[in-house]
Amino acid sequence: MKMLSLLVILPLAGAFLIPAFARISTNLARVVGPLILVYLLSLIIPIYTAFEVNQSSSIQFAGFIPPYGIAFYIDELALLFSLITLIAFLMIWPWGKTNLDANHQEVREYSLYLLLLSASLGLILSADLFNLYVFYELLAVASYGLIAKQDTNKAGVASAASLRYLFLSASGSVMLLLGIALIYTQTGTLNIAHISTLANDKLQNFAGFAACLLILIGVGVKAEMFPVNSWVPEVYGVIDRRLTALFAGLISKIAVLFIAKVLIMIYQQEFILNIILFIGLLGVISGELIAYRAKDMVRMLSFSSIAQLGLVFIALAIPGEVGLFIALALMLHHLIVKSALFFLSEKMHSNLDQLKGLYHQSPIIVILFIFLILSLLGIPPLPGFWIKLNLIINLTSVTNGYLAIGFILLATVIESAYLFKLVKTMIAKTDDVHAAYQNGQQKSYYFALILSLGLLATTISITKVSDSIQNMAKNAANKELYIRSLVPDISKQHKLSSTNRISQLTMHNRQQEL
Amino acid sequence: MVLLYTDFATYLTTDIILYTGAIGLLLIGLLGLLILKNIFRLLLSLVIFESGANLFLVLSGFRTHGVAPILINSQDNISQMVMNDPVPQALVLTAIVIGVGIQALTLTLIIKIYQRYQTLDMKEIHIKLEQDIANIAQTSPLASQDKPQYMTNQTEHSNKGISSGGQV
């Protein structure tokens, strides 16, 4: 289990060593990244398969006794997301670029990819607020670099998009830091498990709520949350589609996971959950309305992604493990569907009006597209339907839940309006059929096919998949388990103080007698 | 009751001055980020915002009359002494280093943008960026879709007006 710390260390070391390797041999620099990815996969797969349902464990660094020092928390959820991250990076790894030029431009890109990988895995595993902040900043820096690097043929555009993103994201990071500082002034600790034991006494005040909102806004930038998502269409518009699939599919989910971790472990007050509900609602409505008006594929998909993440936030507003279960299901579903759609969009003309007659040019792409959007909309018996159904049923027990249900259904109507309009354009008959189809990379098409087959497999074995996600959510939302494995000493005291003070006193007396 | 200067001075402890400073820096930075248009000034606002957060973080471990944890002699009465919390100091060091890295990165991006767009005005860069994105996607920019013809002409004129300003 200790080996799992390599998940963060190896890519980080690789990222900084690749430029040095490139001086020795360019071929060496080219294989380092994939080698690290494959090695980490071979490390994590046996652990994941052997992992039991209720198991959890923690890694303490440098021999500090918890709650001091840095800790990683490992449960099934963290392992699953690490696995997904590694596979996603293997998919989008820039294999095709063979011409290493004199300036080692590609080598820098490899470095940035590894840096992004390291930061993502760190965010998934870390159980310490400040460490989360550091990995979040690392993730941000790597993504600014990757976005600005897409500049080669459209000089300057990607830099401008990157800068506008940077101002938003860096202000968000400062707010996150401020939130963490506020929590530290109230509790005097940074370990999430330790804060969780103290939250009821010390964070039920103005400073605690302010800290929560600051963290929410700070991390919300990456999670495409409603008021701070203006970067999404700009950045996705200028970068490579496969990188877009990574950002919209995976990176946003990792940020949501961060928010979910803080909400589940520290803040479960109705006031805060209600704020999340309204933020999510505004995201859903604004995203769908702008997507309705979009005229190009990337903008439409990116605003639809904002709307889907709004749904995830609404799910997080349902307290406890049920909310986490639905949020997780929505996240995994969106991860598969939206990545596949972005992969597919590489084969299509980017202007929606030009897509006329695509079906007659390449029927498989259109059929895959229809299959994916049907699941996105929530048409039975596809997984999207069961998730939305669960969300709506569980929202009835939440304050303002009926309002949310109304808006979700309205948003679904808007969503189906623009998606079906697009499908109608695609299957329309036309004389000039050559315009719609683009000769993108064949690989992207295969990735989309694999992801769609995965979705089909999920549809067939829906009960099994939903059971396993439910178990995962149950464990991830289990505060006792989290506290017990991260801060075992404090958990004993906490349990005693919260359950029965008298027994604690008698035990103390008995110890004195002994 | 008359509030005398001496009364006021007792309230004006180091803590309050420092916290006011931190929150003031935060507000100045946030305001700058919200209302300024020049990207270089935006960067400076970001720097001020960050300093505010850093000051706030280091203050969370500060105790009035506290000493550094190492500076304790064996003769001192330890129970009487107040120790400053060293953890936020370590954290703020990390935060400062990250901040400096991001500032350097931002400056390189600003240079690249100036080379491409010949302007430092955020509004103008935004308009040109939207135009460029629309060109990449081979569509027209979103905002002009429902606007009457005479209004689009007007905005084009006003855009030309901006380009003279917005430089340091």
In tens, the pLDDT along B87-129 reads 888 889 999 999 999 999 999 999 988 988 888 998 999 988 8
Reported as a single tens digit per residue, the pLDDT across A293-312 is 888 888 899 999 999 999 99
SS3 category, A319: coil
Residue A181 to residue B88, Cβ atoms within 8 A: yes
Contact B39, A163 (CB under 8 A): yes
Query: What per-residue confidence (pLDDT) applies to A155?
Result: 64
CA angle A138, A132, A191 (to 5 degrees): 155
Q: Cis before residue A381, ω within 30 degrees of 0?
A: yes
B147: left (phi over 0), alpha (psi -120 to 50) or beta: beta
Find, in chain B, the residue whose alpha carbon is nearest to that of A141. B102
Residues of A in contact with B105 (CB under 8 A): 141, 144-145, 166
Q: What pLDDT does B156 receive?
A: 47
Chain B residues with CB-CB distance to A181 below 8 A? 53, 56-57, 60, 88
Window B:6-65, CB contacts with A under 8 Å: 26, 29-30, 33, 39, 42, 46, 49-50, 52-54, 56-57, 60-61
Burial class of A28 by CB neighbour count within 10 A (0 to 12, 13 to 18, 19+):
middle
Tens-digit pLDDT profile for residues B25-35: 999 999 999 99
Query: Is residue B160 predicted with pLDDT exceeding 50?
Result: no
pLDDT above 90 as % of chain B = 33
Distance CA A499, CA A305 (A): 44
Set of chain A residues whose Cβ sits within 8 Å of the Cβ of B133:
157, 161, 233-234, 237-238
B131 interfaces chain A, CB cutoff of 8 Å: no
Q: Burial code of B66-77, b = ≥16 C-beta within 10 A, e = fewer?
A: eeeeeeeeeeee
Ranges of residues in chain A whose predicted pLDDT is under 70: 96-104, 151-155, 431-436, 439-440, 494-514
Looking at residue B48, its pLDDT comes to 95
Residue B154 pLDDT greater than 70, yes or no: no
Chain A residues touching residue B125 (CB < 8 angstroms): 160, 163-164
What tokens appear for A179 in the block? 């939130």
pLDDT digits (tens, 9 = 90+) for A312-340: 999 999 988 899 999 999 999 999 999 99
Question: Is pLDDT larger for residue A388 or for residue B1?
Answer: A388
Residue whose C-alpha is closest to residue A125's, from A79, A167, A93: A79
Q: Return the SS3 of A57.
A: strand
What pLDDT score was predicted for residue A363? 84
Domain boundaries, chain A: 1-127, 270-477, 489-514
ipTM surpasses 0.95: no
Distance CA A170, CA B95 (A): 12
CA A262, CA A320: separation in Å to the nearest integer? 13
**A411 vs A281: CA distance, rounded Å:** 9
Q: Rounded to whole angstroms, how far apart are CA atoms A39 and A437?
A: 38
Distance set, CA A389 to CA A383, A394, A398 (Å): 10, 9, 15
Chain B positions touching A348 (Cβ under 8 A) are none
Spacing of C-alpha A36 from chain mean position: 22
pLDDT at B96: 94
Please answer whether residues A66 and A191 qualify as being in contact, where contact means their C-beta atoms are separated by less than 8 angstroms.
yes
pLDDT of residue B11: 60
Domains of chain B as residue ranges with CATH: 13-63+85-117 (1.10.287), 122-168 (no CATH)
Q: How many Å apart are CA B11 and CA B24, to the nearest integer?
A: 18
**What is the pLDDT at residue A175?**
94
Token code pair at residue A282: 């505004």
Nearest CA-CA distance, residue A250 and chain B, Å: 23
**Cα–Cα distance, A406 to A410 (Å, whole number):** 6
Q: Transcribe B57-105 into DSSP letters.
A: HHHTT--TT-B-TT---TTS-GGG--B--HHHHHHHHHHHHHHHHHHHH
Query: pLDDT tens digits for B28-62?
Result: 999 999 999 999 999 999 999 999 999 999 888 88
State both tokens at B93: 């060091």
